[in-house]
Amino acid sequence: MLSPSPDLATRACLDDRSTMTQRLAYAQHSPVVFKKFLEFSNAIRQAGIEQTIYDLVDIRASQLNGCAFCLDMHVKEAKIHGERELRLHHVTIWRESPLFSARERAALAWTEELTRLPEHGVSDEIYAQVSAQFSEKELADLTFLVMAINAWNRVNCAFKTLPGSADQAYGLDKAKLS
């Protein structure tokens, strides 16, 4: 479920997919920072935005960044959370798909804007679209969510974390997508 035409950063992350081997077990080498970042990510999950939004944001950012490990993980999580398969297939075409609510579309637009971060910053149009669907607290929480998944994507792309390598540890084998 990758974007139809990945940008340079995505292509760089996906280079040599057929021979992908993990470069570094970053959690083992930086356990204190890893634990704190995991705590930050878990705190965002407790913020109150509906699970479907979290799943869609994680999937879309991971697609844009070409993060195989995170995309694999978050598709499985969404499936475990009850997400319909067709919607999972439609995340890349969310603008054309009738399967997403206005609130979900706003979250996906915000995710794309913050993941790609335009040269001149976030447009007033996108901000207005998102703030019409989310309270100020929710918008702050959503922004932290996008921030977190982009950071996870970057560390997992940098160290080529293998898709599916943590399935058993995270209970993702329950998705039955292997």
Distance CA 157, CA 103 (A): 29
What pLDDT, on a 0 to 100 scale, did the predictor assign at position 6?
Answer: 41
What pLDDT, on a 0 to 100 scale, did the predictor assign at position 11?
Answer: 43
What pLDDT, on a 0 to 100 scale, did the predictor assign at position 25?
Answer: 82
**Residue 92 DSSP one-character state:** G
Handedness of CA 72, 78, 80, 83 (dihedral sign): negative
What pLDDT, on a 0 to 100 scale, did the predictor assign at position 30?
Answer: 86
What pLDDT, on a 0 to 100 scale, did the predictor assign at position 108?
Answer: 98
Of the candidates 111, 178, 171, 97, the residue with the CA atom closest to the CA atom of residue 142:
111
What pLDDT, on a 0 to 100 scale, did the predictor assign at position 151?
Answer: 97
Decide if 17 is inside a domain. no
Decide if 40 is inside a domain. yes
Residue 12, C-beta contacts closer than 8 angstroms, at least 6 positions apart: none
Decide if 48 is inside a domain. yes
What pLDDT, on a 0 to 100 scale, did the predictor assign at position 19?
Answer: 62
How many domains does the structure of the chain reveal?
1
The CATH number given to whatever domain includes residue 107 is 1.20.1290.10
What pLDDT, on a 0 to 100 scale, did the predictor assign at position 74?
Answer: 96
What pLDDT, on a 0 to 100 scale, did the predictor assign at position 1?
Answer: 36
What pLDDT, on a 0 to 100 scale, did the predictor assign at position 32?
Answer: 95
Mean pLDDT, the chain cut into blocks of 10 residues (178 residues total): 39 52 80 94 93 98 97 96 97 98 98 96 96 98 98 94 85 82
Q: What is the pTM of this model?
A: 0.85
Q: Which residues form the domain of 134? A: 27-175
Decide if 81 is inside a domain. yes
Decide if 16 is inside a domain. no
Decide if 170 is inside a domain. yes
